[in-house]
Structure 1
Amino acid sequence: MKGAIIGDIVGSIYEFHNIKTKDFPLFSPNCFFTDDTVMTVAIAAALETAGKDAPDAVISRWMLKMMRGYGRTYPDRGYGGMFRRWLEDRHPRPYYSSGNGSAMRVSPVAWFARSMEECEKLARMSAEITHNHPDGICGAQATAGAVYLALHGGTKDDIMNYVSRYYDWDFCLDEIRPTYTFDHFASINEGTVPYAVEAFIESESFEDAIRNVISIGGDSDTLAAITGAIAEAYYGVPDELWEQAKVFMDDGGGLADTVERFYTLKDITKQGGGQ
């Protein structure tokens, strides 16, 4: 979850100004948190409020409530048009999106879940509030499952094999870096999740994973949020990077406090990375 937020903040200035190199300042004064961070925190707040043993319907209601509450508190953070309309609708309904918004926000469910089955179920629930298209659900489940495996001792091969249940890909970053760009394909889960996973697979550390994924271009903040979520679970997040990220979240709204409180919940523990 911290990894997703760091990735979002680092990638925020490159979303529409892609770079094709790993050599860049990790945090720029112009960085900011986007909708990826806001919705990730909203899902964490919903899980915290509902509690471990709440019925599915209760968890779903809290997810919807927190997503709308946080979204309205932070209204200018780069939401897509359909999501903005959903926030404003008096009677919100899912809008059958296959976009990558379901994957960018899902990482808290992997920390909260007590089994892979529960992780996949919670991921589906978090997606279906808005992204009830099958591809929207797949993106959330693939991402959450990858994070869950990394948290519980999975190797990179385990993670790659798991995500391959949802997506087929056969490329390395060097092959796609020259041509991968921010187009419609890069804003849907099929065009996001495998690329984010590959950036993690080819990494040597948390920071290297973030640099990998930024260097390919595309929807940089969302790609880096997904890669960062998996990389955190596998490598951990250096304290100094989280402290730097919190500077960009110090807006009086308590986002960082919600994140840190979430990690103190009973049973929210890293069981051992796959290193």
Structure 2
Amino acid sequence: MTATPNPGLSPHALARRSLEGLALGDAFGERWFPLFRDRPQAYEEIRARRTPEEPDWHWTDDTAMALGILRVLDEHGEIRQPELAQAFALGYDADPARGYGYGMHQLLPRLLQEPDRWAELARGLFDGEGSLGNGAAMRVAPLGAWFRRDLRLVIAQATLSAEVTHAHPEGIAGAVAVAVAAALSTRWDLNIHTVVEATPDSAVREGLRRAAGLPFTTEPWKAADILGNGHRVRADDTVPFAVWCAARHPDDLTSALWSTAEGFGDVDTTCAITGGIVGARTGVGHVPQEWLSRREPVPGAA
């Protein structure tokens, strides 16, 4: 079954729809990591579409940081960087064991005390280059859904959201690409070529260009070999494959997540990105009820 478009939804409702898909992808993807010790068996399970047996599916830092973005949008209607820095820091302080990466373990405790120094502290990561990781991309889909009507505003707001933690141009480009994809998804017009055009010149953009030329008949594992699967935890190694999987199944969140999982790699993050993009269009109403009952609830009003 597929969802029907509802252009009358508010920005909050569209962003929340995306957040629910993101959190589901995040928790679903996270369940596969323990099984990767036996990769052939894990691949067989995914190809056979056998739902992981764990009864409790917990989401990770992907969802925790997306909640911070939505909180700031709800309170201010736009990204305000000191407030977002504080939201991220408070989320981290509440539960630092959500799977945050090395850079965030260095940055977020400091932002809790000095959120106004976000620019200096984010730029100082990784020997002054800033983070080019996939963290800004993994959390940003709800923002794209919120500002869906104006792609220029999507790009500007996604950039602001990324800069708080990911000052490297590649980290910013990854966030822009995912936000634009989510905005297009809500408009039922998820075209990878349009995402390429909106993404700043970068390795992320080049990866998306390759994704745009990759037929959807390609097996997802092969697409991951070509585009990257997040194994290096870089934006350019993560975003193209996730966007390709979303565009391959633009109105079927369940199939999109299974396809993304076939790529292995940083599977909670690739599935979170895919889930946020496709979920912005479909919501989670047509995924297996078993998945929703196992997934950890997402705080906040729908």
- TM-score normalized by the length of structure 1: 0.80
Shift of 1:213: 0.1
Question: In structure 2, what is the Cα distance between the partners aligned to 1:134 and 1:178?
Answer: 24
Query: Which structure shows the higher helix fraction?
Result: 2
Aligned to 1:132: 167
Question: In structure 2, what is the Cα distance between the partners aligned to 1:124 and 1:69?
Answer: 21
Q: 1:27 to 1:245 in 2, by over 3 A?
A: farther
Aligned to 2:273: 226
Is residue 207 from structure 1 mapped to residue 250 from structure 2 by the alignment?
no
Q: Which residue of the other structure, out of 129, 142, 146, is the alignment partner of 1:112?
A: 146
Is residue 238 from structure 1 mapped to residue 285 from structure 2 by the alignment?
yes
Report if the CA contact (8 A) 1:16-1:182 is conserved: no
Q: 1:176 to 1:118 in 2, by over 3 A?
A: closer
Identity %: 27
User: Unaligned regions of 5+ residues in structure 1, if any?
Assistant: 261-275
Question: In structure 2, what is the Cα distance between the partners aligned to 1:257 and 1:183?
Answer: 31
Shift of 1:3: 0.7
- TM-score normalized by the length of structure 2: 0.73
Shift of 1:6: 0.5
Shift of 1:136: 0.5
Aligned to 1:25: 51
- The aligned amino acid for 2:168 is H
Task: Show the 5 A alignment for 1:175-190.
Answer: 175-176=222-223, 183-184=231-232, 187-190=233-236
Of residues 241-250 and 137-146 in structure 1, the stretch that sits farther from structure 2 once superposed is 241-250
Q: 1:200 to 1:239 in 2, by over 3 A?
A: closer
Shift of 1:197: 1.3
Q: 1:45 to 1:168 in 2, by over 3 A?
A: same
Question: In structure 1, what is the Cα distance between the partners aligned to 2:53 and 2:186?
Answer: 26
Question: In structure 2, what is the Cα distance between the partners aligned to 1:240 and 1:195?
Answer: 21
Question: In structure 2, what is the Cα distance between the partners aligned to 1:229 and 1:115?
Answer: 18
Aligned to 2:264: 217
- The aligned amino acid for 2:263 is I
- The aligned amino acid for 1:42 is G
Shift of 1:46: 1.1
- What CA deviation, in whole Å up to 9, does each residue of 1:162-194 have, x standing for no partner? 23332321443252467966632xx11111111
Aligned to 1:168: 209
User: Unaligned regions of 5+ residues in structure 2, if any?
Assistant: 1-18, 37-41, 198-204
Number of aligned pairs?
A: 245
- The aligned amino acid for 2:193 is N
Report if the CA contact (8 A) 2:72-2:84 is conserved: yes
Question: In structure 1, what is the Cα distance between the partners aligned to 2:196 and 2:230?
Answer: 23
Question: In structure 1, what is the Cα distance between the partners aligned to 2:269 and 2:26?
Answer: 6
Of residues 239-248 and 118-127 in structure 1, the stretch that sits farther from structure 2 once superposed is 239-248
Question: In structure 2, what is the Cα distance between the partners aligned to 1:222 and 1:72?
Answer: 21
Of residues 226-235 and 162-171 in structure 1, the stretch that sits farther from structure 2 once superposed is 162-171
Aligned to 1:257: 300
Task: Show the 5 A alignment for 1:144-155.
Answer: 144-154=179-189
Q: Which residue of the other structure, out of 2, 6, 13, is the alignment partner of 2:31?
A: 13
Q: 1:239 to 1:175 in 2, by over 3 A?
A: closer
Question: In structure 1, what is the Cα distance between the partners aligned to 2:230 and 2:152?
Answer: 33
Aligned to 1:37: 63
Question: In structure 1, what is the Cα distance between the partners aligned to 2:222 and 2:179?
Answer: 26
Question: In structure 2, what is the Cα distance between the partners aligned to 1:61 and 1:27?
Answer: 41
Shift of 1:67: 0.7
Shift of 1:26: 5.8
Of residues 174-183 and 76-85 in structure 1, the stretch that sits farther from structure 2 once superposed is 174-183
Is residue 2 from structure 1 mapped to residue 20 from structure 2 by the alignment?
yes
